[in-house]
């Protein structure tokens, strides 16, 4: 029974995919080339509409739950796990780390607006001084270094714990990423988009191959998550990792999975990618920390 | 050092529902590390719950219980404010114990 | 269904149960029901946990074979999202339950968990288990001195035992 429904759904979604892809292409083509005429807001709407058409039964806010929004059997397993989620220990650790003073007596809270509470939805930000994108992970390490502390690993447990805690204080708040009227900000957004749609690795996959064209489908054993809302759940506890991972770790593992060469964490490309992907999910609630297979 | 044990014990009418999450690697002994060597088995063998000194649930676990193990059960009796003591031992002699108040 | 007791006349478990009751009663603790006492005093069934064969693990644990029962509700996913963490729960309307166990025959060690249920505790348990590959999951329920079982197949595409 479930299989039959699934098959019909897949056939339908293929049709939707074609229609929606066509409309996406049309939208993208309508915007003439050139950084000065890029309309990120219109692109974000088209991006969102594509997923809403592809999955008409999924509520917009539910996309932040990744594959669990698309697969009923997996959703039940996730709901069971959420009763006492596996990221619980990391979350508590993050709260402790966040409150622990630096050697100079200052705190992480001193580096952020509103003492760092309920601000995760505002990251990444475009920093006019450096002309670059600043992600939450980067801002945390900048905060450490400004206070005479060593940077911590972007892929390690402490960074995952800190961002888990900060995401938790922002749960339910919509992503609110700003692209200021600065050509460098638009360029960063454009770079992120280009990275997202460029094929790479021995499998010759782009990010979009999996997360725009094929969400809900199986890639080997995994159910692919939709790109819409994918960063809202970060950081995530993955059963595959047996632990927590940051956005940096996720990007690196995505590149490895298509047998490409991952970039260093928080390289310009990854920062721009996070900027683009977060921007197109504007309006969807922060759900992190999340758990995934 | 924070406790390895997290408990949510909630009294609802006649019964108390208990959920527990424990931080433990639960290494099965069947997984290899990056060097290709088997990680030795390291897992909780016995987990005990006592309500006001009386055992209400005893778990004997093998290598197939997931990392950071979770278990849920319910027992009759138990009121808000009662003590629930949770303790575990593992195959390497490690142990931890904590007492929680029923909510 | 109890003939296996005849074939394996005295199991370690039954001996320990008896011994436990006598010992604790000797200390004057008499307010517990015998089942609770036995449950509280059982030793860790190491031999059963080392077994590679499902039937043998059940024999070592209970000294008998199990009868299928439709009064056991075993809840497990059709396809495990990851074999490392498979949520599995069981509840039953069978009376006087003294223990519940989970066996995964395709795992390297087949016995996953054994729960002792003292009197007053509900036979309603949820836990998360590792599964190496696609397998049935067997829930065993010891009720009124008899052994019952229910099974469900769980497909595993990402194994929970490495490799």
Q: Where along chain B do its domains lie?
A: 5-29+40-101
How near does any CA of chain B get to the CA of A14, in Å? Answer: 37
Task: Check if the beta carbon of residue A175 is closer than 8 Å to that of residue A232.
Answer: yes
- Total structural domains within chain A: 2
- How confident is the model at residue C154, as a pLDDT? 96
Q: When comparing pLDDT for B11 and C6, which is higher?
A: B11
- How confident is the model at residue C16, as a pLDDT? 38
Task: Measure the CA dihedral A111/A270/A166/A113, to 10°.
Answer: 30
Chains that touch A (3 or more CB pairs under 8 A): B, C
Neighbours of A217 (CB within 10 A): 14
A209 and A72 in one domain? yes
Instruction: Read off the tokens for A32.
Output: 């003439």
- Cα distances from A263 to residues A195, A240, A254, A267, A269, in angstroms, run 12, 21, 11, 7, 8
A161 and A98 in one domain? yes
Residue C127: φ, ψ to 5°: -150, 180
Measure the CA angle with vertex B71, ends B73 and B99; round to 5°: 80
Peptide bond into A124 cis (omega under 30): yes
Which residues of A are identified as catalytic?
254
A102 and A78 in one domain? no
A268 and A245 in one domain? yes
A285 and A184 in one domain? yes
Indicate whether C19 belongs to any domain. yes
**Residue where one domain finishes, among candidates A168, A192, A215:** A168
Instruction: Read off the tokens for C67.
Output: 């009868």
pTM score, whole prediction: 0.82
Q: Looking at the complex, does the CB of residue B12 fall below 8 Å from at least one CB of chain A?
A: no
Helix (H) or strand (E) holding A272: helix A268-279
A227 and A117 in one domain? no
- How confident is the model at residue C40, as a pLDDT? 45
Phi-psi region of A198 (alpha: psi -120 to 50; beta: other; left: phi over 0): beta
- How confident is the model at residue A1, as a pLDDT? 34
Nearest to C81 among A2, A77, A86 (CB): A77
Chain A environment of B67 (Cβ under 8 Å) = 242
- Indicate the SS3 state at residue B92: coil
Residue C103's CATH number: 2.60.40.2470
A198 and A224 in one domain? yes
Indicate whether C131 belongs to any domain. yes
Which residue in chain B is spatially nearest to A240 when comparing CA positions? B67
Name C19's Cβ contacts closer than 8 Å, sequence gap at least 6: none
Indicate whether C163 belongs to any domain. no
Work out the percent of chain B whose per-residue pLDDT is above 70.
Answer: 99
CATH class, domain B5-29+40-101, is mainly beta
How near does any CA of chain C get to the CA of A221, in Å? Answer: 5
Chain B environment of A89 (Cβ under 8 Å) = 6, 21, 23, 68
Is residue C17 over pLDDT 90? Answer: no
Helix (DSSP H) and strand (DSSP E) numbers for chain C: 5, 9
Chain B environment of C17 (Cβ under 8 Å) = none
Which residue in chain C is spatially nearest to A77 when comparing CA positions? C87
pLDDT along chain A (293 residues), means of 10: 40 50 51 65 96 95 94 91 93 97 98 98 97 98 98 97 98 98 97 97 93 89 91 95 94 93 97 98 97 91
Indicate whether A58 belongs to any domain. yes
Alpha-carbon distance of C67 to C119, in angstroms, equals 23
Q: Which domain holds residue C106?
A: 3-156
Q: Looking at the complex, does the CB of residue A86 fall below 8 Å from at least one CB of chain B?
A: yes
- Over range C89-107, report the average pLDDT: 97
- Total structural domains within chain C: 1
A57 and A31 in one domain? yes
Whether A73 sits inside 8 A of C78 (CB atoms) is yes
Chain B environment of C40 (Cβ under 8 Å) = 55, 58
Q: Looking at the complex, does the CB of residue A89 fall below 8 Å from at least one CB of chain B?
A: yes
- Indicate the SS3 state at residue A47: helix
Task: Check if the beta carbon of residue C160 is closer than 8 Å to that of residue C85.
Answer: yes
Q: Looking at the complex, does the CB of residue B8 fall below 8 Å from at least one CB of chain C?
A: no
Q: Which domain holds residue A96?
A: 88-168
Whether A239 sits inside 8 A of C79 (CB atoms) is no
A191 and A144 in one domain? no
Residue A107: φ, ψ to 5°: -130, 165
**Residue where one domain finishes, among candidates A144, A168, A192:** A168
Nearest to B55 among C40, C49, C89 (CB): C40
Neighbours of C95 (CB within 10 A): 9
Q: Looking at the complex, does the CB of residue C48 fall below 8 Å from at least one CB of chain A?
A: no
- How confident is the model at residue B31, as a pLDDT? 86
How near does any CA of chain A get to the CA of C132, in Å? Answer: 13
Nearest to C112 among B54, B56, B62 (CB): B62
Q: Looking at the complex, does the CB of residue C114 fall below 8 Å from at least one CB of chain B?
A: yes
How near does any CA of chain B get to the CA of A52, in Å? Answer: 36
Indicate whether A3 belongs to any domain. no
C37-59 pLDDT tens trace: 444 456 899 999 999 999 999 99
Q: When comparing pLDDT for C158 and C116, which is higher?
A: C116
Q: Looking at the complex, does the CB of residue C32 fall below 8 Å from at least one CB of chain B?
A: yes
Q: Looking at the complex, does the CB of residue A145 fall below 8 Å from at least one CB of chain B?
A: no
Q: Looking at the complex, does the CB of residue C144 fall below 8 Å from at least one CB of chain A?
A: no
Q: Which of residues 42-101 of B touch A (CB under 8 A)?
A: 67-68, 70, 72
> Between A183-197 and A268-279, two packed helices, what is the crossing angle to 10 degrees?
90
- How confident is the model at residue A22, as a pLDDT? 52
CA contacts within 13 A on the Cβ side of C143: 18
Instruction: Read off the tokens for A255.
Output: 């590149």
Neighbours of C49 (CB within 10 A): 24
Strand boundaries in A32-130, DSSP class E: 125-127
A77 and A95 in one domain? no
B29-67 pLDDT tens trace: 988 888 889 999 999 999 999 999 999 999 999 999 999
- Over range C8-33, report the average pLDDT: 38
How near does any CA of chain B get to the CA of A78, in Å? Answer: 14
A74 and A35 in one domain? yes
Residue A278's CATH number: 1.10.760.10
- How confident is the model at residue C147, as a pLDDT? 97
ipTM summary value: 0.94
- With CA atoms as reference, report the closest residue to C34 among C115, C98, C101: C98
A199 and A105 in one domain? no
């Amino acid at each position: 029974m479930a299989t039959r429904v699934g098959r019909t759904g897949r056939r339908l979604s293929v049709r939707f995919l074609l229609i929606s892809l066509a409309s996406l292409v049309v939208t993208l083509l309508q915007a003439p080339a050139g950084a000065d005429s890029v309309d990120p807001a219109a692109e974000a709407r088209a991006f969102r509409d594509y997923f809403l058409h592809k999955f008409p039964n999924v509520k917009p806010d539910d996309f932040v739950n990744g594959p669990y929004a698309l697969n009923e059997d997996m959703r039940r397993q996730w709901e069971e796990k959420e009763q006492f989620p596996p990221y619980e220990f990391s979350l508590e650790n993050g709260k402790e780390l966040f409150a622990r003073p630096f050697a100079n007596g200052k705190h992480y809270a001193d580096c952020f607006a509103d003492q760092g509470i309920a601000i995760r939805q505002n990251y990444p930000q475009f920093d006019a001084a450096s002309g670059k994108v600043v992600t939450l992970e980067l801002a945390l390490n900048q905060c450490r270094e400004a206070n005479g502390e060593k940077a911590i690993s972007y892929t390690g447990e402490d960074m995952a714990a800190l961002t888990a805690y900060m995401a938790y204080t922002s749960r339910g708040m919509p992503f609110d990423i700003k692209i200021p009227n600065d050509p460098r900000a638009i360029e960063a957004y454009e770079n992120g988009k280009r990275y997202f749609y460029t094929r790479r690795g021995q499998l010759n996959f782009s990010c979009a191959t999996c997360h725009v064209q094929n969400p809900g489908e199986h890639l080997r054993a995994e159910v692919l998550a939709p790109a819409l809302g994918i960063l809202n759940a970060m950081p995530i506890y993955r059963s595959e990792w047996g632990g927590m991972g940051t956005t940096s770790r996720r990007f690196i593992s995505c590149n490895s999975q298509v047998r490409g060469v991952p970039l260093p964490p928080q390289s310009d490309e990854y920062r721009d990618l996070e900027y683009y992907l977060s921007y197109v999910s504007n309006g969807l609630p922060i759900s992190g920390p999340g758990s995934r297979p | 050092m924070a406790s390895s044990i997290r408990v949510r014990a909630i009294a609802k009418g006649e019964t108390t529902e208990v959920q527990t999450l424990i931080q433990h690697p639960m290494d099965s002994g069947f997984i290899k590390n990056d060097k290709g060597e088997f990680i030795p088995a390291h897992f909780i063998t016995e987990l005990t719950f006592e309500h006001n000194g009386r055992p209400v649930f005893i778990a004997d676990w093998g290598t197939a219980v997931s990392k950071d193990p979770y278990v849920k059960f319910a027992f009759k009796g138990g009121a808000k404010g009662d003590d629930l003591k949770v303790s575990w031992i593992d195959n390497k002699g490690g142990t931890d114990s904590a007492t929680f108040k029923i909510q | 269904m109890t003939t296996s007791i005849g074939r394996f006349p005295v199991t370690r478990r039954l001996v320990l149960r008896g011994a436990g009751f006598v010992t604790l009663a000797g200390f004057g603790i008499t307010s517990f029901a015998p089942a609770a006492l036995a449950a509280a005093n059982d030793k860790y069934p190491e031999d059963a946990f080392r077994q590679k064969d499902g039937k043998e693990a059940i024999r070592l644990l209970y000294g008998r074979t199990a009868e299928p029962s439709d009064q056991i509700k075993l809840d497990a996913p059709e396809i495990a999202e990851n074999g490392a963490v498979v949520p599995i729960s069981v509840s039953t309307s069978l009376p006087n339950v003294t223990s519940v166990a989970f066996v995964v025959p395709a795992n390297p060690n087949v016995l996953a968990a054994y729960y002792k249920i003292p009197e007053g505790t509900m036979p309603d348990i949820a836990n998360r288990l590792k599964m190496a590959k696609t397998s049935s999951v067997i829930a065993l329920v010891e009720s009124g001195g008899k052994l019952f079982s229910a099974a469900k197949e769980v497909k595993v595409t990402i194994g929970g035992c490495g490799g």
